[in-house]
Amino acid sequence: MSAGLRFDTVTRPVSQLERPHDPEAENPCRTFIREHRGQDPWHPVEHAHSSFRAKREAAYAQARAICQVCPVREACLTAALDAEGRARPSDREGMWGALDPFERAAVARRTGAKSHKSRRMPINHGRGASGAEAHRKRGEKPCQVCIKAERLYRQELAARRRAS
């Protein structure tokens, strides 16, 4: 990847990523989009997620041909793989880096991409039992705030059960 390449951060869904581009070179995908307004061969409507490879190949044929000669193909593929993590093919969108959703899912499996679900969510300290449970799921000892909140939650729950 050359130093002049630029692309959006990959914290957003792939559908919202901007295709990488090299300011020093003319990218075939950007040229195609500019010349063929309204056409998007990278996100075909029909057969894009077909389990039949031949139908997928036909749906993505034009985009694949354009991607094959793109100077930023590697950066495009890397951005998509980073953004998608270990998502299923049905959760992936479009052609990126000359690979369709099923092919990118296979690459992610082979390379051991990290799942977006594995990212640590912030702990809701002091919010019922959820904070202490979140600590335990992480293999941590719950903090005092979470222990007190969990104790209070369990007492209130027991009182509601006795009252009913």
pLDDT per residue, tens digit, the chain (164 aa), is 333 333 333 333 445 556 665 555 667 777 787 787 767 788 777 766 666 778 778 888 888 998 888 888 888 888 888 888 777 777 788 888 899 888 888 888 888 766 555 455 677 787 777 888 888 887 888 889 889 989 999 999 999 999 98
- Tokens found for residue 148: 């007190």
- Cα distances from 27 to residues 5, 9, 44, 67, 141, in angstroms, run 11, 19, 20, 9, 52
pTM of this structure: 0.53
